[in-house]
Amino acid sequence: MMEPKLILEQTQKLIMTPELKQAITVLTLPSLELSNYIQHQLEENPVLELPDGMDNVADMSGGEDTTINLKELFADSSDLGLGSYTSREKKENVFEPVAVQHSSLQDYLKFQLHIIKLTSRQQQIGDFIIDNITEDGYLAISLHDMAQSLKVNASEIEEILKVIQTFDPSGIAAANLAECLKLQLDPGNPKYELFIQLINDHLDDIAANRLSVIAKSLKLTIKETQELVDEIKTLNPKPGLLHSSDNTVEYILPDVVIERVANDYVVLVNDTSVPRLNINPYYRSMVQNNGIIDENARKFVEGKLNSAVWLIRSIEQRRLTLFKVATTVVEYQRDFLDNGISNLVPLTLKEVADKVGVHESTVSRAIAGKYVQTPRGTFSWKFFFASGVVTSEGDAASANWVKKMIQDLIAEENVKQPLSDQKLTNLLAEKGINISRRTVAKYREELSIPSSSKRKRY
């Protein structure tokens, strides 16, 4: 019979304190997002400020003691700044974000609508239609529903819709894929009727590359059918994507730059976009002041000072972690940097974590959503942590390199007799790469390359 008992035992647990949670957040954020995060912290914490000049930096990264003695911390009159090192020369044009201004699809269509001579009622209908066009360029609402919403006849809607369907990009405001493709056809083309028949009756056959079925139905040769299908495939199934609906500027900014200097590689961590932080001297003097101040005010200031110091420490720790991870990756991937993708070796988070001396989850957070600029191009950090396969000689080859080999084999294939996945498997085996047909199929699909039956040409 079980009886209730009172047992006293000691266990170790990792408590997710607000400071630890903040450190994890800071480590995970890419440079631009970190900059926004810091701006938000500046608004919330009056103790933090941006300096006017370039001051010395206090090292906030050493030690594991989480107890902060604020009087001792500020005794050296350091400003606790972050982000500028007197020994580091500012290097120009190292970090070059690529900015892309997206033009709104709706704005682009309304511009075309408003230069046409229309009545105010027709303008209202046109604006309503355009506002109901999806990002892909399709009409998201029926004529009947639009007529009910605007309390007008469906014929009035249809009249303006036909006008909008003549706008650029071609194929816009269609109700479905077939209509979208037909809107892009030239009625003056001698093959126009054949194209219409193809789109009406054989879209599924085109997608599956069933040319013999289409040829039999249209009473054409395989070669004639191939030519027609090739022309159909030049049409855009999602014309709206030519004009993004997001009217913002997007940046791809590397968090780390690896540069070749003579015969070596130098790692530079991008903190140029990260605002430098100081402790406001007024609040610092309050902590150092031995006079009597209101106890509630003291507790408030000390709490904010603790938060400020933790934020600065977390940002510096992020910089050091990124530097150590990047330096370790350079050691492992030196052959890739020297000679290209064929020398990219498989690499795991654990290998890097063990070398750096941190948990692999820390490495995972450090590289998440971030980019690195190298002499070989700009890559997502995950590119360097690809899985691998073992060659017949017992060496390791990265999955990215195997994918490149598959891509090259397909690029050189006879299009009339494209390589099947099994044939690709055999060819890779001849090159010393022993992987299954299923893995070849998986890599091919990840490269967005269709199967051999869909690649076949006649």
Same domain for 225 and 163: yes
Q: Which of 97-101, 191-195, 314-318 has the lowest mean pLDDT?
A: 97-101
Domain encompassing residue 451: 387-455
* Cβ-based burial of 325 (10 A; exposed 0-12, middle 13-18, buried ≥19): buried
Q: Output the CA torsion sign for 253, 259, 265, 269.
A: negative
Same domain for 117 and 227: yes
Q: For residue 83, which of 378, 324, 311, 288 has the smallest C-alpha distance?
A: 311
Tokens in use for 276? 């430098």
- With cut-offs at 50, 70 and 90, classify the pLDDT of residue 347: confident
Answer left, alpha or beta for residue 436, where phi above 0 means left and psi between -120 and 50 means alpha. beta
Same domain for 372 and 406: no
Q: How many CB atoms lie within 10 A of CB 309?
A: 22
How large is the C-alpha radius of gyration of the chain? 31
Specify if 91 maps to a domain: no
Here the CATH number for the domain that contains residue 415 is 1.10.10.60
The verdict on pTM exceeding 0.75 is: no
Identify the pLDDT of residue 323. Answer: 93
Specify if 446 maps to a domain: yes
- With cut-offs at 50, 70 and 90, classify the pLDDT of residue 169: confident
Query: Residues 6 or more apart from 116 whose CB is under 8 A from it?
Result: 163
**How far is it, in rounded angstroms, from Cα 454 to Cα 421?**
13
| pLDDT reading at 324 higher than 90 | yes
Specify if 58 maps to a domain: yes
| pLDDT reading at 245 higher than 60 | no
| CA angle in degrees (0–180, nearest 5) for 88-92-98 | 125
Overall domain count for the chain: 3
Same domain for 236 and 131: yes
pLDDT top residue among 249 and 295: 295
| pLDDT reading at 388 higher than 50 | yes
Query: Mean pLDDT throughout 154-176?
Result: 90
**How far is it, in rounded angstroms, from Cα 368 to Cα 271?**
17
Specify if 20 maps to a domain: no
Same domain for 223 and 137: yes
256 in helix, strand or coil?
Answer: strand
Tokens in use for 42? 């500046």
